[in-house]
Each structure stands twice: as structure tokens, then as C-alpha cells.
Amino acid sequence: MFFTMVENIQVQGEIFKNKALERLTKSNPRLTVTFYTLLIALFFFLNFRFNPISIEATLGLYAAGLFSWTLMEYLLHRFLFHIDEYLPFMKRFHYIVHGVHHEYPKDVERLFMPPVPGTLIAAALFGFWYLFFGLNAFAFMAGITNGYLMYSYIHYKVHTRPSTKLLHRLWVHHAKHHYKFPDKAYGVSSPLWDIVFGTMPPKHKHTA
């Protein structure tokens, strides 16, 4: 293989000494799927309840949100999750939001955004998009949230057991970011924006 898979002796890192706060930094697949599925349903309900637009318009906004998530995923990973590269004094913030994942990539409880911070982030994102789309932000956020849920599934699978050829290719791409090129391969669910912005890792002729 073109890189060496590094196994961590300690399975989990620690963000907070306070046990209650530490618990809020963790999640699991079942809780993640349940919470974000309900959040998607809530956005759709609020859209149909308060926003008098057609089904076609709703689906169009949802699809736009779904696609927009792929760009958000890339930008967040590249600039916010690695903010310590630009602002060294943000190392503690970086460790909380992403650094612990890089240090312990096999910690499955930190492959997802937990419900409490997830709710705060979703509320902030809705407020941001509401400034531009008004009530259309409900359907748009349903797409963004579904995009995040799909990303969570892919991220979980590539860090545990990629079961298909597509997931294996995404695993190789993401593993390059973790183990060999931390300044490249920011896309997790798709390499699209790495291609667009020139952050694809170099190809290796020999992979064995």
C-alpha cells in the first residue's frame, strides 16, 4: 500500500476533563441517523407549513441544498477544521473540532457531529440562509442536512470497513489526507471540489 496505516495505541482522545461535556462530544451511528433524519423531517414540515411553494420548487431547493453541502463540506474541512494552519493561536479550537479526529481516526464515537452542537450549527446555518432565501431556507436546509447525513455515513464507512468499490476509493482518498497529505484530499464524500480547487493528492503508480 502507498501509505502505512498507523494504529493508535489509545483508542480515544479526550477533549474535556468534565465528564458531562466530554459526553456531549461523542455520538454513534444509530443516534446520528435518528437525530438528523428527524431534523430533515422537521425542515420539510416547516416548509410545507409556512412556505406556500409547489412540490417541484421544494424538491428543487432540496436538491440545491444537497449539492451545496458538497462544497460546504470541502470548505469547512479545508479552512475551518484546519484553521490552525492559518491561525496558530487557534490550536485548541482546531483540536476540539477536528484535531482529535486526526489524532485518533479510529475513534468511531467522533466520526459524527453530536446532537447538541449539531442543533446549534443547524440553527446558525438556517439563520444564515434565511437572510438570502427567506422561507425557502427550510427546504434548502433539508437538503444540506441530508447531505451531511450522507457524508456521515460515508465518513463512518471509510474509517471502519469500506464495503464497496466506491467506498474503497473514497477510503483511499480520505486516508491520503489522514496519513500522507494533510494539506490535500479535503473532500470526504466526493473528490469533486479537490479536483476543482487543485487539492487532489498526487497519484501513485505503485499501490502494493
Q: State the pLDDT confidence band at 2, using cuts at 50, 70 and 90.
A: very low
Q: What is the CA radius of gyration of the chain?
A: 18
> Mean pLDDT, to the nearest integer, of 63-68?
97
Continuous H helices in the chain? 19-23, 29-50, 55-75, 91-94, 100-103, 115-133, 137-159, 165-179, 192-197
Give me the pLDDT at residue 198, please: 94
> Mean pLDDT, to the nearest integer, of 124-134?
97
Three-state SS at 10: coil
Q: State the pLDDT confidence band at 204, using cuts at 50, 70 and 90.
A: low
C-alpha 144/C-alpha 109 separation (Å) is: 22
C-alpha 198/C-alpha 205 separation (Å) is: 19
> Mean pLDDT, to the nearest integer, of 14-33?
87
Dihedral (CA of 35, 40, 43, 45) sign: negative
Give me the pLDDT at residue 6, please: 37
Q: State the pLDDT confidence band at 5, using cuts at 50, 70 and 90.
A: very low
Dihedral (CA of 160, 164, 168, 174) sign: negative
Distances (CA, A) of 167 to 6, 18, 150, 161, 172: 20, 36, 12, 9, 9
C-alpha 165/C-alpha 168 separation (Å) is: 5
